[in-house]
């Protein structure tokens, strides 16, 4: 299986919301396809002590107007089935129903979570708005201009 990585664009400004998942959304639209999230990361290079709360959650609405983010493949010549996007009509997730949530500091804070074998977050293919076809990332608290980044690595 091939692995892919994507995340926030280089000129990203997160917004804080208890429901919005605006950092990125991993989407599998092709019915019958499966993607398994292997790793997530977050980090900052701010110069002030600002507390952030970031979460990864399943999408609960039908976002619209996607903007594709760059995807890197670990295997040359392999094209991903899944996409990683931001959306004009942003994705939302149920407040406090998260796959993972972390409190951290943008002044040099950050981390990586490698999900255990058999414990990966799975998305299954279906039309936008289909249950379990999307996983998103967003900040509950913390905003900046190009000082934080968030990534996701998956296999399919």
CA separation for the pair 54, 23 (Å, rounded): 10
Tell me which residue of 120, 130, 104 sits closest to 52, measured CA to CA: 104
| Residue 111: per-residue pLDDT | 96
Give the residue among 30, 20, 31, 1 at the shortest CA–CA distance from 120: 1
C-alpha distance from residue 18 to each of 22, 42, 87, 115, 156 (Å): 11, 18, 17, 24, 30
Q: Where are the domains of the chain?
A: 3-155
Tens of pLDDT along the chain (156 residues)?
Answer: 799 999 887 778 888 999 999 999 999 988 889 999 999 999 998 888 899 999 999 999 999 999 999 999 988 889 999 999 999 999 999 877 899 999 999 998 899 999 999 999 999 998 887 888 999 999 999 988 889 999 999 999
For residue 130 the two structure tokens come to 């289909």
The Cβ-side half-sphere exposure at 19, using a 13 Å CA radius, reads 8
Vertex 63: Cα angle to 58 and 64 (nearest 5): 155
Neighbouring residues of 129: CB distance < 8 A, sequence distance ≥ 6: 61, 62
């Amino acid at each position: 299986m091939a692995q892919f990585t994507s995340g926030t664009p280089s000129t990203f400004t997160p917004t804080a919301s208890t429901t919005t998942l605006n950092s990125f959304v991993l989407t599998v639209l092709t019915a019958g396809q499966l993607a398994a999230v292997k790793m997530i990361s977050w980090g900052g290079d701010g110069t002030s002590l600002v507390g952030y709360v970031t979460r990864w959650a399943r999408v609960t609405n039908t976002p619209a107007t996607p903007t594709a983010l760059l995807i890197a493949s670990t295997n040359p010549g392999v094209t991903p089935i899944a996409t990683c996007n931001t959306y004009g009509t942003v994705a939302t997730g149920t407040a406090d129903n998260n796959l993972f949530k972390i409190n951290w500091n943008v002044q040099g804070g950050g981390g990586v979570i490698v999900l255990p074998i058999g414990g990966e977050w799975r998305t299954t293919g279906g039309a936008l708005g289909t249950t379990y076809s999307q996983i998103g990332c967003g900040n509950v608290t913390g905003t900046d201009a190009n000082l934080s980044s968030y990534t996701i690595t998956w296999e399919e």
